[in-house]
Amino acid sequence: MSVLHRHEIDGVPSTRVACVQMEPHVGHTTENVTRSIAAIEDAANRGAELVVLPELANSGYVFSSREEAFGLGEQVPNGPSTDAWIEVAQRKNVYVVAGIAERDGDRLYNASVVIGPSGFLGRYRKLHLWGDEHLYFENGNLGLPIFHTPIGRIAVAICYDCWFPEVFRILAIKGADMVCVPTNWVPMPGQKPEQLAMSNMLAIAAAHSNGLNLICANRVGTERGQSFIGQSLIIGANGWPLAGPADAVTEQILMASINLKQSRHAKQLNAFNHVLGDRRLDVYEVALKGGFDTS
């Protein structure tokens, strides 16, 4: 894997973060995890303190049946993939966020594990399922947790969650510094090759309008006829990309530096305007309680 560096904050203490753009192969869990560990080691050796892997990084994404999906699901935190990621996180003194199919009894979740040098910190279960995911997974039921760590307050959103601005607004209100986005972004209808991906535009808008750092790790390749668009990126809390977007086909590691002090001031746009303080809850809450019209 090539490694792209961008030192954005010279001379100021910062958190080094990385996103791994890779190509998992469905059903090849051992191989996928082995390759992800090599990428984590590579990023950590180059100074990364937080490494984000794609959605369903260990199992692959395009399942042929519900039985296959369940067969590739694992317990969290006591499954083999999580154990392997815990080992490398402890050995390399790094935080890892990785997408996984989590099996919990007779239920399956599109989830992400959050791991640190001290071991397993928790999990996030995808709230908004996309396409055929409805055939295999349950809707996430753990809300939007924040993980408090020495390198900052970490949160997670997965792929289609980015289409819902409420996700990032809630995480901003709860005090998140960095939102890790394991994803398997696919081409959107009407998207032209020369255009910035819709997913990237949504992520940039979410970062800017909420004062959040986003670390978006997508996959590449084609799996059982489904293509993926790559274009992973790291976005600062002011909305400007710090690294990427990566290309659409190559396995890469993107790295960037995030200054938490500066990030926490990003919500204050000028002397008058604050992206959270300027909200008109008197208008929004009344409107939202009315539901939506599908006619």
Domain boundaries, the chain: 2-289
Q: Which of 49, 55, 74, 102 is catalytic?
A: 55
Marked catalytic residue, from 74, 102, 159, 180: 159
Question: 3-class SS at 218?
Answer: coil
Assigned superfamily of 2-289? Carbon-nitrogen hydrolase (3.60.110.10)
Let me know if 180 is a catalytic residue: no
The 10s digit of each residue's pLDDT in 172-194 is 999 999 999 999 999 999 888 78
Catalytic option among 74, 126, 180, 267: 126
Instruction: Specify whether the CB–CB gap between 277 and 270 falls below 8 A.
Output: no
| pLDDT band, very low/low/confident/very high, at 287 (cuts 50, 70, 90) | confident
Known catalytic membership, residue 192: no
How do residues 110-140 score in pLDDT, each as one tens digit?
999 999 999 999 999 999 999 999 999 999 9
pLDDT tens digits along 223-279: 999 999 999 999 999 999 999 999 999 999 999 999 998 899 999 999 999 999 988
- What 144-147 contacts at long range (C-beta under 8 Å, 24+ apart), as own/partner pairs, is 144/170, 144/171, 144/174, 146/171, 146/174, 146/175, 146/176, 147/114, 147/121, 147/122
- pTM score: 0.92
Report d(CA 284, CA 124) in Å as an integer.
27
Q: Say whether 31 is catalytic.
A: no
